[in-house]
Amino acid sequence: MEKKAYRAHVLALPYPSQGHVNPMLQFSKRLTSKGIKATYATTVFLSHTMKPESLGSVEFDTISDGCDQGGFSEAESIHDYLKRLEAAGSKTLAELIIKYKNSPHPFDCVMYDSFLPWALDVAKQFGLVGAAFFTQACAVNYIYYYAHHGLLSLPVSSEPVSIPGLPLLQLRDMPSFIYVAGSYPFYFQMVLSQFSNSYKADFVLVNTFYNLEHEAVDSMSKVSPLLTIGPTIPSMYLDKRVENDEDYDLNLFKLDSSSSTEWLSTKPPGSVVYVSFGSMANLSVKQMEELAWGIKQSNFYFLWVVRSSEEAKIPNKFVQEMGDKGVIANWIPQMQVLASKSVGCFFTHCGWNSTIEALCLGVPMVAMPQWTDQTTDAKFVEDVWKVGVRVEVDENGIVNRDEIESCIRQVMEGETGKVMKENAKKWKQLAIEAVSEGGSSDKNINEFVSKLTRT
């Protein structure tokens, strides 16, 4: 068999959840366009769920999280899952590296999601280059860096919080693991442990772009040299096609795309509110009810993604009355939807992927963060990038229907909406520049690739 000349072979190791698999896959594709061979390894369980028959230019393999049959649901708790993932993951990662060792293309580098710091230890045992891949916003990572190094006294109780390079943050702007003290202690430990050994990594790659977060990037770079390499969005959505950048992604949920995208295409430009809370958020029954009636009161067309596990919370009366004003779907191709001219506003939980996807496609937002990093992303959406409005929670901890209607109106109509739309277009342009030849992210990717290249 002919041995193809690659510049280097990178093993990409994503954290096994929906919001983490695609950024790393898209980035792996980008690397293959630069002459790198990329092998992408998910857990066995995810490989059954997502069925990645073809990843185009990217090769596919697996490691184990110790839960091959049921994934996360097989574990007793978050703690149990993370323990199993580390134990089985380290062992099977080492086996995978050994399997390739005598092949024509052994691995040169392990590029691991920063939620998996143990992968760096395994890479180093084998003398491989280690590249940490930070999936979330630089500002969020820098807050965790601060907390990990004892620079924030925890639990954070007084506000505003001042961190160099970040706007002053109120408690509600901090990642929820910090401001809701004691919530999800094992996830909190996991996000802090991203920095337990990152100083040993040869590269720290962050899925953002310089102009978007330049102050946070400059501050964090002083303590942890990093390369911004984002947005990791298929290039055809950014109007500049990169070689090998086919439009495919991985879905843990079954797509029910055609009817919703067809419906969307029949609607006038800017007339539809797209509503989605991503892959993990669970709204209370009361909150779903308020959301439904708030959408109805706003009287715009809507496309609402409600995962099947959440569907029972939609009020029956709402479904009976919605007629052809809207469509409810369990999971849709979000990039295609955000790219549609019909979408005028994204009502979002502000997961980092959703946020950066909306920014890069010039779609203004209503931000309704739920937990983890979403609160900080929402702060930036409203106050730094000025591409959206953040909902206010009432005294009962609920975002009520009138607030929902009012926020949708602010984005969809009037002067404020126009300004947000203009700002969103500006970020789209800057995102395109960042990944185009000679742009900040493109240069950083080239630096990563050239340093990896075997001499």
Contact residues for ligand UDX, defined by CB under 6 A:
17-20, 22, 135-136, 276, 278-281, 305, 331-335, 351-354, 357, 372-374
Minimum CB–partner distance for residue 307 and ligand UDX (Å): 8
Select 135 or 298, whichever has its Cβ closest to ligand UDX: 135
Q: How far apart are alpha carbons 220 and 105 in whole angstroms?
A: 35
Q: Give the DSSP letter string of 103-134.
A: SSS--SEEEEETT-THHHHHHHHTT-EEEEEE
Residues 6+ apart with CB under 8 A from 290: 398, 399, 400, 401, 404
Helix (H) / strand (E) element for 79: namely helix 78-101
Select 301 or 352, whichever has its Cβ closest to ligand UDX: 352
Q: How far apart are alpha carbons 251 and 101 in whole angstroms?
A: 31
With tokens 């690739």, the residue in question is: 449
Select 206 or 292, whichever has its Cβ closest to ligand UDX: 206
Select 18 or 193, whichever has its Cβ closest to ligand UDX: 18
Select 113 or 433, whichever has its Cβ closest to ligand UDX: 113
Minimum CB–partner distance for residue 6 and ligand UDX (Å): 28
Q: How far apart are alpha carbons 145 and 86 in whole angstroms?
A: 21
Minimum CB–partner distance for residue 207 and ligand UDX (Å): 9
Minimum CB–partner distance for residue 337 and ligand UDX (Å): 8
Minimum CB–partner distance for residue 413 and ligand UDX (Å): 25
Helix (H/G/I), strand (E/B), else coil: 272: strand
Minimum CB–partner distance for residue 27 and ligand UDX (Å): 13
Minimum CB–partner distance for residue 446 and ligand UDX (Å): 25
Minimum CB–partner distance for residue 433 and ligand UDX (Å): 22
Select 208 or 298, whichever has its Cβ closest to ligand UDX: 208
Select 17 or 271, whichever has its Cβ closest to ligand UDX: 17
Which of 135, 129, 131, 134 has its CA nearest to residue 111? 131
In angstroms, the Cα distances linking 150 to 156, 169, 195, 224, 410 are 11, 18, 12, 16, 40
Q: How far apart are alpha carbons 232 and 30 in whole angstroms?
A: 8
Minimum CB–partner distance for residue 22 and ligand UDX (Å): 5
Structure tokens at 60: 């596919």
Select 58 or 97, whichever has its Cβ closest to ligand UDX: 58
Helix (H/G/I), strand (E/B), else coil: 141: helix
Select 97 or 204, whichever has its Cβ closest to ligand UDX: 204
Residues 6+ apart with CB under 8 A from 106: 9, 97, 100
Residues 6+ apart with CB under 8 A from 224: 145, 195, 198, 199, 204
With tokens 């943050």, the residue in question is: 169
